[in-house]
Amino acid sequence: MKTNTATCLVLWLLLATIANPGFAQKKTVVKKAPLLTDRQRWLAEMDKMVRPVLRSLAHDSLRLVMPQITSQRVDNKAQRIQVQYLEVLGRVLSGMAPWLQGEGGTAEEVALRNQYRQWTLQGLSNALDSTKNDYMRFDVAAQQLVDASFLAFAFVRAPWLWENLDVTTRNRLVNGFKTTRRYRPGFSNWLLFSAMTEAFFCKYGYEWDPMRVDYALQQLEQWYVGDGMYSDGTHFAFDYYNSYVMQPYLATITGIINGKNGSYKDMTLKIKKRNERYAVIQERLINSDGTFPATGRSIIYRGAAFHHLADMAWRKALPEQLKPAQVRGALTAVLTKTLESPSTYRNGWLTLGLYGSQPDIADVYNNQGSPYLCTALFLPLGLPDSDPFWADAPVKWSSQRIWSGDDFPNDHSVDLR
């Protein structure tokens, strides 16, 4: 009987194994890639998310490569596409600003920051130059009151950007912001968009309108409903607009104005206590797996649902009961969960959805630029890697402790009127 080569090989392996039991266990050792730190993971996710935006803008090609995607129930498709470029710029820079402002880190992080600083300055120059392909007007629609405000927020958070803009670009930016004064904000969180632009003028020594600021702050005070939260206009909605806009804006605007004339000291103390209470609520909303209640409109902003908690961590304003490391863990879980779906990106661009591409979740005003508000989650990257937020050992966040059976302090509402 003839024995073929394959049979001989099998018999040889069997005999070798019997003679030497360890033979079959000898395998090629493949070295595992080193585990990334939380900060490295955050940096990698931020780079993946914003690179197509800022690199393209720096090369004056954003309009050529950015998809023109809108909600399937869009209210005005042509207009929503027109404004998506300023929308994505303001949102990306607002979230990245603290990191762009920062210094230090590993050699790789320093190099990455320097690259993004270069792209950002060139991109802003292109966006504000009417001779460029990527020129962005501020007077296309009322939506640009919102978009300009987030861009102003970026400059408030990162003075480095302002200090390193050339004079021509500075003047064009200021004129663009002034253009948005023609729009009357809606009787809602939109009042704060006007106020933030005025706060930018105040911070950098331009003539500003105290009335626009005061009206917004006084009206929000009237809309305070309790337990650290505000209604968005005359009716309370259980959504994330306290985090998307209201609480981070209130803290920043009052901080700037108080720094100039101290006119909102009493209100600022109230806002601080409400900020702290809402941060506690936000941290408890994050489940042990990084999921959170998908309620309310604008849910495609993904991790921006925790803009406020990230802002509090970056400003080192967390209440005593929230340890920086537990907030890092909770936000890392949110970051992972909201970006892990294979359909989160399409051709390098964020899709409309909370967990991957979910077109039916989008609202009438959403376009390709809208989901990039989720860069707000990256605010703590403005803290150095030596800060307790990054350097401390992992700590379980509230949901992890509660749902693993740990004893845990009770929670109760707080009267902060």
CB atoms within 10 A of CB 409: 8
Euclidean distance between CA atoms 82 and 321, whole angstroms: 45
**Token digits for 313?**
């961590």
pLDDT value of residue 229: 98
Instruction: For residue 2, tell me if it sits in a domain.
Output: no
Is 67:131 a contact under the CB 8 Å cutoff?
A: no
> Which amino acid makes up residue 169?
T
Instruction: For residue 15, tell me if it sits in a domain.
Output: no
Instruction: For residue 9, tell me if it sits in a domain.
Output: no
Instruction: For residue 171, tell me if it sits in a domain.
Output: yes
Instruction: For residue 161, tell me if it sits in a domain.
Output: yes
pLDDT value of residue 260: 86
**Mean pLDDT, consecutive 10-residue segments, the chain of 417 residues?**
44 45 52 82 98 98 98 96 98 98 97 98 98 97 97 98 98 98 97 98 97 98 97 96 98 94 92 98 98 98 98 98 98 98 98 98 98 98 98 97 95 88
Domain with residue 332: its CATH number is 1.50.10
**Token digits for 285?**
């909303």
How are the residues of the chain apportioned to helix, strand and coil, as percentages rounded to the nearest 5? 60, 5, 35
pLDDT value of residue 8: 43
Predicted TM-score (pTM) of this structure: 0.91
pLDDT value of residue 170: 98
How many domains are there within the chain?
1
**Token digits for 299?**
């849910």
Instruction: For residue 7, tell me if it sits in a domain.
Output: no
CB atoms within 10 A of CB 271: 22
Is 298:364 a contact under the CB 8 Å cutoff?
A: no
Is 374:307 a contact under the CB 8 Å cutoff?
A: no
Per the structure, the complete domain to which residue 201 belongs is given by 35-402
Closest CA to 186 of 158, 153, 219, 164: 219
pLDDT value of residue 14: 42
pLDDT value of residue 390: 98
Instruction: For residue 332, tell me if it sits in a domain.
Output: yes
Indicate the burial class of 375 (C-beta count within 10 angstroms; 0-12, 13-18, 19 or more): buried
- In sequence order, the β-bridge partners of residue 345 are 350
**Token digits for 116?**
């993004």
**Token digits for 387?**
């800060």
Q: Over the Cα atoms of the chain, what is R_g? A: 25
pLDDT value of residue 261: 86
Instruction: For residue 89, tell me if it sits in a domain.
Output: yes
pLDDT value of residue 29: 60
Is 71:365 a contact under the CB 8 Å cutoff?
A: yes
The H-or-E segment that residue 224 falls in is strand 224-226
The H-or-E segment that residue 215 falls in is helix 210-222
